[in-house]
Amino acid sequence: MSKTKFFISFLLLISTISMVQAQDDSSEKKYFNPITNTVPSLTVAPDARGSSMGDLGAATEADVYSQHWNPAKYAFAYSKAGIGFTYTPWLSKLVDDIRLMYLSGYYKLGDADRSAVSASIRYFSIGNIQLTDETGQFMADASPYEASVDLGYSLKLTENLSGSVVGRFIYSDLGANVGGEDLYPGSAVAADVALYYNNYLVLGNSECLLGLGLNASNIGSKISFDKIKQQFLPANLRIGGSLLFPMDDYNTLSFNIDANKYMVPTPPDVRGLTTAEAQEKWNEYYEVGSLGGAIKSFYDAPGGLSEEFNEITWSFGAEYAYDNKFFVRGGYFYENPYKGNRQYFSVGAGVKLNSLQIDVSYLISSVPSNPLDQTLRFSLCFDMDGLRSLMR
């Protein structure tokens, strides 16, 4: 019973934070001040399952794409191994040559299945861009892209708790040197540290699965494109909860929630300052180290505690499954209007046939002029246990 009370308290805490945030928004003068970082593709949801539930996955049941959401979940994966691939046409309402491709997989070690190794490759192509000068004259063609490769290890620390560490190499190429500026491809290294807890609890006559997850991702070096100015990676803290209800022997329903906060310093407020004063503020901002910036990100917002709460994004999602073979999903993502104003619904479906699972998701913006509107994702994954059974 204490675990039930803990989960209810967890949801009440999140609701209270949201109410405080809404009250602060109405009483304080705001201005548009989003968190700035580079290599933003590292935060893009790569798979159709997570994106169809409002971009969440910190505490949902483990799948092939847990490397992005919470790699500690691999230690609790049912299958011995799996591999998956996702293709996403990005900003398809604006252009037709931006795309994200993502490959991930895992393998559980030993007969006890208490640990797993995992890896992923992410490639984000920004397409072909024609660069012009201030008069509109053509200068050069550019083909920017971002890529990352990572390797992780997860381990069951107890029967209900697992931990994981992931190392990542990041590469970003802007694709051209123009305007007399020396621009270079940037590279960086980063790490993720994650925890995952799950346990069964009784609600009414049903034995439900409770999941709690935490993932601190992209904590590492800064990155530079001119060998002078060091920019922040999108370090992020994700915390989530999940509760799965077995409706009967064939039908299950899960409710999930994630909260995210960038562990990157808030840009300084330079309104009303002279050019020199503003430049000094920005110099101080970029001189902060990545680890110091991660710590500072929890208390440095110019608007105080209310602005810190505004920097949290929220994801709410649900998943219905029939016989663990057919899936219907939906969710909602919310970001404060003064911190980016990404707000959208998402829907999706999936089907699992022996060793193969196919998922699709679709994004529906709830605010005007959102370039992410109508984003479509396709995911394909293979269960290695299922493949082996087919080959026998």
Instruction: Judge whether residue 209 has pLDDT over 50.
Output: yes
Instruction: Judge whether residue 3 has pLDDT over 90.
Output: no
Instruction: Judge whether residue 75 has pLDDT over 50.
Output: yes
Instruction: Judge whether residue 297 has pLDDT over 50.
Output: yes
Query: Average pLDDT, stretch 323-328?
Result: 95
User: Is the pTM value of this prediction over 0.95?
Assistant: no
Report the Cα 253 to chain-centroid distance in Å: 23
Longest dimension (CA), the chain: 74
Query: Average pLDDT, stretch 85-105?
Result: 83
Query: Average pLDDT, stretch 85-111?
Result: 84
Ranking 10-14, 89-93, 225-229 by mean pLDDT, the lowest is 10-14
Strand partners, 105: 83, 119
What gap in Å lies between CA 218 and CA 192, rounded to an integer? 6
Residues 183, 189, 194, CA angle at the centre, nearest 5°? 140
Instruction: Judge whether residue 13 has pLDDT over 90.
Output: no
Query: Average pLDDT, stretch 298-309?
Result: 91
User: Higher-confidence residue: 142 or 144?
Assistant: 144
What gap in Å lies between CA 365 and CA 375, rounded to an integer? 9
Q: Phi-psi region for residue 331, left (φ > 0), alpha (ψ -120 to 50) or beta?
A: beta
The mean pLDDT value of the chain amounts to 85
User: Higher-confidence residue: 154 or 206?
Assistant: 154
Give φ, ψ of 25 to 5 degrees.
-60, -35
pLDDT band at 103 (very low <50, low <70, confident <90, very high): very high
Measured in residues, the chain has a length of 392
* 8 A C-beta contact, residue 75 and residue 61: no
Helix ranges (DSSP H) in the chain: 2-27, 48-52, 66-69, 275-287, 290-296, 305-310, 384-391
Strand partners, 106: 82, 118
What gap in Å lies between CA 317 and CA 382, rounded to an integer? 24
Q: Which domains does the chain have, with CATH numbers?
A: 2-391 (2.40.160.40)
